[in-house]
Amino acid sequence: MSDLDAYREKARAFLISMAPKFGRDARRANTVEQDLALGRQYMAARHDAGFAGINWPVEIGGQGLTHLHKITFDGEEMQFGMPSHFFGISLGMPVPIVMHYCEDKAWVKERVLKALRGEEIWCQMFSEPSGGSDLAALRTKVETDGNGWKMNGQKIWTSWAQYCDYGVIVTRSDPTIEKHKGLTYFWVDMKAQGVEVRPIKLAGGDSHVNEVFFDDVRLEDSQRLGAVGGGFGVALHTLMIERYIATDSGGFGPHLDEFIKLAHEVDINGKPGIEDGRVRQQIARNHAMRAGLDSITKRAFAMMMAGMQPGPEGSLQKLVAVRSRQKLSELAMDLKGNLGLAFDEHAFVKTDWGTSWLNAPTGRIAGGSDEVLLNTIAEKILGLPQDHRPDKGVPFNAIPA
């Protein structure tokens, strides 16, 4: 048995022992607050069991293992539906970036421990009404008085901001130069004076995303991460961390096996749905697509094991998996007839077709929209010419808005 297989077994044993209290079935009908409280307990138990900060250095409180160990654990954990989603962004990007750029190492070590145990949560404040796919178009501004900074502006779509203690943020420090060059990156205390968080209600009924407003928020220069004007580079670094996350070839919604089960149960024109050519065609299509995605993941694993960086083909994963989940969920709802439209506010994305379908559009936007991923594939994989960039070389404050 390989080291990774043995690790997977150890992880599964831990997760099985946790499932009766924290697993998907145990949490049905919880309020978000109850779920978050359970999530914090689960994170503490995960830390005690040695499954936190798996690929982070031991000196900072991690386990010192490889990224492959982390993906292996995450993949197993996903199947149990543990309440770790509140902490995914926090531990995925902001905390590693603070570990890398913040100079006060004792302070960072304390934050890392609290973040790993679920006692503190960090958010990532990049997107704004005028800067999403084109991050460098952002307008939240900071002005220095030579001592510290004053921040004014607005972010949007910030996941979990209402529960966060800290966040990382990209701001405009110089509007007179090219848009990518006038940005500076900071960490922010979410409880500081002048920070206001307003939740946004999504179609699925939940409010995990927020608007965040800044009104004369004071930042110390020690909160700056990276050089003044170096914010775009730090933002890219943030987005590149752990580009290969655990992916579920089931496509983030209910598994294809569940669809096959449903097709056996429903009736089309007096015959079991599974005998219908159109249904069979979709099953075959999804099976082939998933096999293709699994091959891409295996290839990325092999590259990482050989000490190489996986290539841009990771963009295909999200593009194809989320789109197909949306289509399959829609078909499952159709097969269920009127019952397919019944909305269950406590249902989970991974087990309920309607919830999966309702949430699919956010998946096609968050973390890079379909069109932006298509651009990446066109430019980086197919070698096509770059997208038209008319504001290249133009000072930010001279770009028409």
Ligand X SMILES: Cc1cc2nc3c(=O)[nH]c(=O)nc-3n(C[C@H](O)[C@H](O)[C@H](O)COP(=O)(O)OP(=O)(O)OC[C@H]3O[C@@H](n4cnc5c(N)ncnc54)[C@H](O)[C@@H]3O)c2cc1C
Catalytic residue numbers? 242
Stretch that binds ligand X, among 103-111, 175-183, 290-298, 364-372 (CB under 6 A): 364-372
Amino acid identity for residue 381 in this structure: I
Which member of 38, 78, 121, 125 binds ligand X (CB under 6 A)?
125
Which member of 5, 104, 294, 371 binds ligand X (CB under 6 A)?
371
Q: Quick check: helix, strand or coil at residue 145?
A: coil
Q: From the CB of 146, what's the least distance to ligand X, in Å?
A: 29
Q: Quick check: helix, strand or coil at residue 187?
A: strand
Name which of residues 382 to 401 contact ligand X (CB under 6 A). Answer: 387
Q: Specify which residues 185 forms β-bridges with.
A: 170
Nearer to ligand X, 89 or 190 (CB): 89
Q: How far is CA 49 from CA 148, 302, 343, in A?
A: 41, 28, 37
Q: From the CB of 80, what's the least distance to ligand X, in Å?
A: 22
What is the rounded CA–CA span in Å between residue 323 and residue 36? 29
Q: Considering the rule CB under 6 A, would residue 209 count as an interface residue with ligand X?
A: yes
Which residue of this chain has its Cβ atom nearest to ligand X in the complex? 132
Q: From the CB of 87, what's the least distance to ligand X, in Å?
A: 13
Q: Considering the rule CB under 6 A, would residue 133 count as an interface residue with ligand X?
A: yes
Q: Considering the rule CB under 6 A, would residue 126 count as an interface residue with ligand X?
A: yes
Q: How far is CA 231 from CA 83, 101, 179, 185, 252, in A?
A: 32, 11, 11, 5, 32
Size of the site for ligand X (CB under 6 A): 20
> The dihedral of CA 86, 256, 251, 365: what is its sign?
negative
Nearer to ligand X, 76 or 120 (CB): 120
Q: Considering the rule CB under 6 A, would residue 5 count as an interface residue with ligand X?
A: no
Which member of 365, 377, 378, 394 binds ligand X (CB under 6 A)?
365
| Per-residue 3-state assignment (H helix, E strand, C coil) for 308-362 | CCCCCCHHHHHHHHHHHHHHHHHHHHHHCHHHHHCCCCCCCCCCCHHHHHHHHHH
What the block records as the tokens of 180 is: 């990518």
Q: Considering the rule CB under 6 A, would residue 372 count as an interface residue with ligand X?
A: yes
Q: Considering the rule CB under 6 A, would residue 152 count as an interface residue with ligand X?
A: no
Q: Considering the rule CB under 6 A, would residue 41 count as an interface residue with ligand X?
A: no
Q: Quick check: helix, strand or coil at residue 68?
A: helix
Residues that bind ligand X (CB under 6 A): 89, 123-127, 132-133, 157-159, 209, 362, 365-366, 369, 371-372, 375, 387
